[in-house]
Amino acid sequence: MNKNQLLQSVVFLSLLIGSLCGVQYYLEWGVRCNTYGESGKINMLMSHRIDPELMIFGSSVALVQLDDSLITAQTGMTTVNMGLSGVSFQQYLGLAKEFASYTTKCKYVVFVNTPFELITRNLLYEAFNFYAHLGSETIYKSLVDIDPVLVNKMKYFPCYPLTVYDSHFYRLSREGHKERKGIKPHAPKPDGFLPVHIFKFNDESLRYVQNHSLDIPVSDTLVNYYREIISLYNAKGIKVILLSPPVEQGMNDRIGNGEELAHTWQQLAGTQNYFMNYSTDSLSKHRELFYNFTHLNSKGAAIFSEKFAGDLKTMLR
């Protein structure tokens, strides 16, 4: 290959990489324009357009069980349910840190946990909702801790994200660009609470722990992450509420270290914050209020939301 051919190849590759980087930027721009669905909630927080007095973080145990409009009506505080289906604390930690960095109105932050919240993860869930924000250090740090190989390639290898983006990401980008042009999508607005109208309990959900006790491990790494985020909020004068929602009795019977888990949450809350433990509440005995062992259906969620809001109002009086 002579000098001219080498130069032509370099120019061609530069143009190709530049074009692909342009495509990547355009796709990510579209995703960030969404204000609907779970992607919309993330985008609105990352653009600092969410700032309630009471912020609720969590996975689906927050999303399907806590009616933010009812809590607002009961407590008088503006409330946003930031629950993200399937997304553990370890993955949404970056969002919680981002919120702490800009909020001026928040008084209380609720972290809703599952019995398995203190187990470290090594797999991202619905990461397509987060990919467009890898440029944010808070998002990057929370995701790279779960899957360092994938996330570092996504962040530092030019155009590599194009090999990872899936149909969900392309759909979000398309919808975002439509919304940017004033076309409303069919997805629901990101107003938090999304109850599940399933009234038959899923017995299969208990089968794998049916015949033995379940001792749930507690990761020191996760405990330290909680300590870090609690200190971050407390430094801003914001109180943290660690919330354990009801767990169906059949599952409670199989958790061998439930008291240890509750003790860990109580220690994390300390005397400066609050631990509200409903894991073995009387609701747990009513299987008709659950659709699986850790999630209330819409009927159960309405009862629990009312109970939580009332208790919260009394506690903060």
Q: Give 211's pLDDT tier (boundaries 50, 70, 90).
A: low
Q: Model confidence at 213, in pLDDT bands (50, 70, 90)? A: confident
Q: How much is the pLDDT for 235?
A: 98
Domain positions in the chain are 49-159+187-315
The CATH number of the structural domain formed by 49-159+187-315 is: 3.40.50.1110
Taking alpha carbons only, the member of 291, 266, 31 closest to residue 172 is: 31
- Of the given ranges (8-12, 178-182, 258-262, 311-315), which has the lowest mean pLDDT? 8-12
In this predicted structure, the answer to whether residue 245 has a pLDDT above a threshold of 60 is: yes
pLDDT of residue 109: 98
pLDDT digits (tens, 9 = 90+) for 262-308: 999 999 999 999 999 999 999 999 999 999 999 999 999 999 999 99
Average pLDDT, the chain: 92
Side by side, the strands of the sheet bearing 54-57 are: 79-81, 54-57, 108-112, 239-244, 274-277
Q: Which residues, 6 or more positions from 150, have their beta carbon under 8 angstroms from its beta carbon?
A: 124, 164
Torsion of CA 202, 203, 204, 209, to 10 degrees: 130
- The token pair at 48 is 């600092």
Report the pLDDT value the prediction gives residue 1, as an integer from 0 to 100.
Answer: 61
Is residue 9 pLDDT above 90, yes or no?
A: no
Block residue for tokens 């299987």: 287
pTM here is: 0.93
pLDDT tier, 203 (very low <50, low <70, confident <90, very high otherwise): confident
Confidence band, pLDDT 50/70/90 cuts, at residue 15:
confident
pLDDT value of residue 212: 63
